[in-house]
Amino acid sequence: MPTDYSRPLLLAGTAGGSEPDSLRARIEASQVHISVDPTVPGSGTCLRVLVADLRRLPVQLSLDPGRGSKRLGDDLVDQVLRIAAGIDPQRSIRVGGAPPDAVHVQVGVDHAAADLTGVPDGHGTRIRRPGYPFPRLEHAGSGLGAVLTAAMLTGEIFKMVTALRPGTYRHIDTLNFCPVALFSSHHRAPEHLHVERLALVGAGAIGTAVALILSVLEATGDLTVIDRQIFESPNVITYSLGTDEDAGARLPKVDIVGTALQRMNIRRVHGTVDDFISHIDAGTMPLPHTVLGAVDNIAARHDLQRIYADLVLDGGTGGRAGTTVSLHEALPTGPCMRCYFPTNNATVTAEQRLHQATGLPLARIAQGDQALTEDDLRGLPRQGRRLLEQHLGKPVCGLGRVMNLTTVNGDNSYQPSAAFVAQQAASLMVGALIARAHNEDSNVRMRQIEYDTLYGPQLDMIDDRRPRSDCYCQTSQDVIRAVRNERLGAVEAYRL
């Protein structure tokens, strides 16, 4: 079965406003050439992730094997070719010199011949374009830094091959960013990550990116993975783990994550948060210290809070084109996930979702029994016309469901997605996990972070968050405390 590139192409079309056929032709004609300095710590991991991320776009890829002391090992080249073939067996990578007019991306610090260069520095990344020198690297690149660097480089390549409209993006000329310390100066955080009673809710695009980072960090400890879905063909292009063969086998997503984390003690819940809570209350699974939330709707985020873990680190993607990433840090005593996502303000109706996706006026959507006409399409954005033109003559009231724009069983199926975006969200989550694991100050202020990957991390993307005075976490603290005490008691019984 041919690899399905529809979701990254939808993301590119939504972001750039291009016609699907011309956009696909442009991307398929794009040549991207990769080179790497294997003497740089973390470069091998970065290369593997970079190749996988770029193979999830229908571009033509080539790899420079290097020369002399900087020649790539045969094992690494073979690994890279296998990774790419597992994503799209029909698009091979050419090993050799750069084709004419190829975009040249380099992993390393010597970027004289490259159009774009990046390198992991500790848990962070440094990105440069020609004319902007690299400073001295402070730390050996970690697995987190390597994944973030690959994701950031892929994001820049994405901008270059999709011809986005002026004013909808920013080329990053120079970037120094660490998801642990953000933009602050910092001492080297320990690379090895050991976690106790960690839970990951959601094994989708963000969840598999979290698992990838934990894997390359060689994390140890206990992790419970909760997801009720099966890994399928469209997931191969948008997730950071899983192959075309896994999709054919229709493996549970929790198994995809569990297989990647060989050093951790993995508990799998192929079900819902309610199923996980039932295990906790029955004493068959422990109450987690920390929940990593990788879900995609408000109801699911509220479910995260019902676990009443010590800390929730919620990552998300969204925005107009699905390129915005976010992190919300939450406590059972507030700010909690309900503070960030109050139901009365944030619920999006099917009509609003249809309007946001197509530009069709809400007043016209309200006339739901009237069939869609050519007149309705005039003046709409190009992407909206493309989505609607195949449904001419159908009643407007049913379009949201026909076009998969409604929320079904808690999943928003209209979601442009790309692995490099999810990896940046996951980097914020794991960065926060590391920061809090090595910070002894119990009064650390809770952070809310958000930025558009088409522009990159910004100094003003970080806000402190305080509880809402009318939120459940403030008005029902006695109930929350009682539930937590009971579940903590179940933890002790579980240990015995």
DSSP 274-324: HHHHHHHHHTSSPPPSEEEE---SHHHHHHHHHT--SEEEEEEEESTTS-E
Beta pairing partners, 371: 395
Residue 73 DSSP code:
P
- Range with the poorest average pLDDT among 46-60, 61-75, 156-170, 435-449: 435-449
pLDDT for 413: 42
Does the structure show a pLDDT above 70 at 443? no
Beta pairing partners, 33: 62, 104
Does the structure show a pLDDT above 90 at 397? no
**Residue 346's pLDDT band (cuts 50, 70, 90):** very low
Angle at 151 between CA 146 and CA 154, to 5 degrees: 125
**Residue 379's pLDDT band (cuts 50, 70, 90):** confident
Does the structure show a pLDDT above 90 at 393? no
pLDDT for 368: 62
* Alpha-helical segments (H) within 173-251: 205-216, 235-238, 244-249
What are the backbone dihedrals phi and psi of residue 140, each rounded to the nearest 5 degrees, phi first?
-65, 140
Distance CA 215, CA 104 (A): 28
The residue among 7, 21, 119, 3 whose CA lies nearest residue 382 is 21
CA Rg value for the chain: 23
In which residue are the tokens 């979290």 written? 210
Residue 361 DSSP code:
-
- Which tokens is 233 given? 């063909």
Q: Residue 169 in 3-state DSSP?
A: coil
**Residue 183's pLDDT band (cuts 50, 70, 90):** confident
Distance CA 449, CA 467 (A): 16
Residue 101 burial (CB < 10 Å; 0-12/13-18/19+)? Answer: exposed
Does the structure show a pLDDT above 70 at 469? yes
> Can you list the domains of the chain with their CATH numbers?
6-177 (3.40.50.720), 194-345+416-495 (3.40.50.720)
CA distances from 139 to 147, 189, 427 (A): 15, 10, 18
Per residue in 274-286, pLDDT tens? 999 999 998 899 9
The predicted model gives 329-343 an average pLDDT of 92
Distinct helix (H) and strand (E) counts, the chain? 21, 17
Average pLDDT for the chain: 87
What are the backbone dihedrals phi and psi of residue 295, each rounded to the nearest 5 degrees, phi first?
-115, 170
Does the structure show a pLDDT above 50 at 408? no
